[in-house]
Amino acid sequence: MLDIVIVGGGITGLAAAWQLEQTGEGVSYALLEASPRWGGKMSSQTLQAEGKTFLADGGPDTLVTRKPETWQLVNELGLQERVIVPASETKNIYVLDNGKIQPIPLSPGLFLRTPLLTWRGRLRLLAEPLQPARRDEGDESLAEFVTRRLGSEALEKFIGPVLGGIYNTDPARQSTLVSSPVMREMEKEAGSLFAAALGRMSKRRAPGPRFINFEGGMEELPQKIASRLTGTLRLNAPVSRIFPTRTGFAVELASGERLEAASVILATLANVSANLLQETAPQSATLLGQIAHQNIGTASLLYRESDLPAKPVINGLMIPRREKQPIDAVTVTSRKLPSRSYPGYTLLRVFFGGAQPTLVEEEDAALLHTLQGALNRLLGLRAQPLASALFRWKQGFPQAEVGHLERVDAIEASLPPGVYLAGSSYRGIAVPDCIRQGRDAAQKALRSSKSRSHSAR
Ligand SMILES: Cc1cc2nc3c(=O)[nH]c(=O)nc-3n(C[C@H](O)[C@H](O)[C@H](O)COP(=O)(O)OP(=O)(O)OC[C@H]3O[C@@H](n4cnc5c(N)ncnc54)[C@H](O)[C@@H]3O)c2cc1C
């Protein structure tokens, strides 16, 4: 009989286990991961071409340090020396508009020249500080928020495509309180986004980089955590059901093996946790099943630099759904993370699965053919890639729709004592959010196991 079983060895489950190592003296735990590797979406793969080795991240490739959880974890693990700093993400970002690539107007010059906005749209955007501020705690969609503050043109022409691209979703459904709480905080704090941005710029920032990645790819962080854990660690161990026992829970693996524990932390997506809780907590399972998940995939494609047109210099291209393209965005890894490349080569990362969800189910050759066709049309890129790495997650990208946090509150209230949920389906999708949730769940499980052993005495 263990104290705690953690299901799912992505960054959330690993952070939960790390927290138990830090504060759970004498606590016995197991971490069970379905796949043959730790890290879930934090995965990296090498590409070989012409005698050189390149590195591609499949999921996250930038961790923001404004949310302190990742940086704190990096320090605890002694990984500071392994950190690399990605280049600025705000330069040379384009959006596809009516089939044409247009720069997103982030500088005053571009703002005046951009064909994306009418003069009316420009004036509306500049009138942002004059709009009344919302100061309550209620949720709204990203589309409502942006329209309210910056106007409908800004939403439709570039802010919507950027936010929709980041969250692989329709901004009209996406919860602002989950996806961009910082924008609501800024509105509350200064009455306007512009005023808050100016105020924040004048404040001294904490030392250290704003965004980070690692020499060995994103996978380095989860692998480092796994190497430091001392509990029972099992790869290739998919959990198939969980059921209550007299003293806690039995966690059954697909192989039929059972582990018993007083508490269970489910660090799996809500659609997986819904299945696992069917017997133990049917009402929670129904509510969990209401959280939608989208398909998502990325392809890292390596080219010779000369294969791409020299102009315009593109660091990122966002593609709104209305453009009816098979791909959702393109970023240029070799510019964002130059240490990942060699002179004369361009490493692209193409996002897919939002506009055309079935792409994640295609065979490699058919998928590459479709992506290649889109890159040819959009960027004039005719050459075949020298090497590629494909990553796909079917129903793997959680969608936090308006009212999401209330739904999560209701799910948590419905759980039997001793079951805890954490991860990207619940209270924020970014890696720091997942780390925070994993650590919080571990603390809650520890508290409950302490109070049980107290009352047993
Ligand atoms: C393309 C892409 C780009 C992203 N970019 C960024 C970014 O730049 N910055 C950022 O902060 N975030 C980014 N994110 C989001 C972030 O990567 C994820 O939200 C986060 O990694 C999720 O971690 P997790 O541990 O909660 O879930 P996952 O990584 O999904 O891990 C869940 C684990 O549970 C395992 N599992 C599933 N079923 C079972 C079972 N039955 N039994 C046992 N184990 C099971 C899975 O195999 C998996 O390893 C990105 C995500 C994607 C897809």
Closest CA relative to residue 1, chosen from 194, 245, 259, 241: 259
Tokens of 418: 């001793």
Looking at the chain, the domain(s) classified CATH 1.10.3110.10 span: 117-202
Verify whether ligand 1 is closer than 6 Å to residue 226 (CB atom): no
**CA-based max dimension of the chain:** 74
| Closest residue by Cα to residue 26 from 9, 60, 3, 48 | 3
CB 386 within 8 A of CB 49: yes
Question: Domain 44-88+294-398 has what CATH class?
Answer: alpha beta
Report the relative pairing of strands 211-214 and 83-84 from DSSP bridges.
antiparallel
Tokens representing 27?
A: 């606590």
Measured from the CB, is residue 291 less than 6 Å from ligand 1?
Answer: no
- Closest C-alpha residue for ligand 1 atom 31: 10
Token code pair at residue 89: 């993400």
Taking CB atoms within 8 Å and a gap of at least 24, the contacts of 411-416 are: 411/284, 411/287, 411/288, 414/281, 414/283, 414/284, 414/287, 415/281, 415/284, 416/244, 416/280, 416/281, 416/284
The protein residue whose alpha carbon is closest to atom 26 in ligand 1 is: 423
Residue to mutate (ligand 1; options 18, 35, 41; most atoms within 8 A of CB): 41
- Ligand 1 centroid from CA 60, angstroms: 9
| Phi, psi angles (nearest 5°) of residue 324 | 55, 45
* Residue having the nearest C-alpha atom to atom 6 of ligand 1: 60
Q: Is 206 left (phi over 0), alpha (psi -120 to 50) or beta?
A: beta
Specify the residue with its C-alpha closest to ligand 1, atom 7.
60
343-381 pLDDT, tens digit each: 999 999 999 999 999 999 999 999 999 999 999 999 999
Tens-level pLDDT at each residue, the chain (457 residues): 999 999 999 999 999 999 999 997 889 999 999 999 999 999 999 999 999 999 999 999 999 998 999 999 999 999 999 999 998 767 899 999 999 999 999 888 888 899 999 999 999 999 999 999 999 999 999 999 999 999 999 999 988 888 887 778 889 999 999 999 999 999 999 999 999 999 988 887 777 788 999 999 999 999 999 999 999 999 999 999 999 999 999 999 999 999 999 999 999 999 999 999 999 999 999 999 999 999 999 999 999 999 998 888 899 999 999 999 999 999 999 999 988 889 999 999 999 999 999 999 999 999 999 999 999 999 999 999 999 999 999 999 999 999 999 999 999 999 999 999 999 999 999 999 999 999 999 999 999 877 766 565 5
What CA–CA distance (Å, rounded) separates 154 from 158? 6
Closest residue CA from atom 29 of ligand 1: 40
Ligand 1 atom showing the smallest separation from residue 37 Cα = 49
For 2-41+220-292+400-456, which CATH class? alpha beta
**Beta strands at 52-57 and 100-103: parallel, antiparallel or unpaired:** unpaired
Measure the CA angle with vertex 214, ends 204 and 294; round to 5°.
95
Predicted confidence (pLDDT) per residue in 163-172, tens digit: 887 778 889 9
Residues in CB range of 284: below 8 A, 6 or more apart: 277, 411, 414, 415, 416, 419
| Nearby residues of 312 by Cβ (< 8 Å), 6 or more positions away | 92, 94, 101, 103
Q: How many Å apart are CA 380 and CA 126, to the nearest integer?
A: 35
Specify the ligand 1 atom closest to the Cα of 238.
42
Q: 187-215 burial, b if ≥16 CB within 10 A, otherwise e? A: beebbbbbbbeeeeeeeeeeeeeebbbbe
In the chain, ranges of CATH 3.90.660.20 domains: 44-88+294-398
E-assigned strand segments in 399-453:
419-421
Fold of 117-202: protoporphyrinogen ix oxidase, domain 3 (1.10.3110)
Residues forming CATH 3.50.50.60 domain(s) in the chain: 2-41+220-292+400-456
Residue nearest to atom 21 of ligand 1 (CA): 41
Using a 10 angstrom Cβ sphere, with 0-12 exposed, 13-18 middle and 19 or more buried, the burial of residue 246 is: exposed
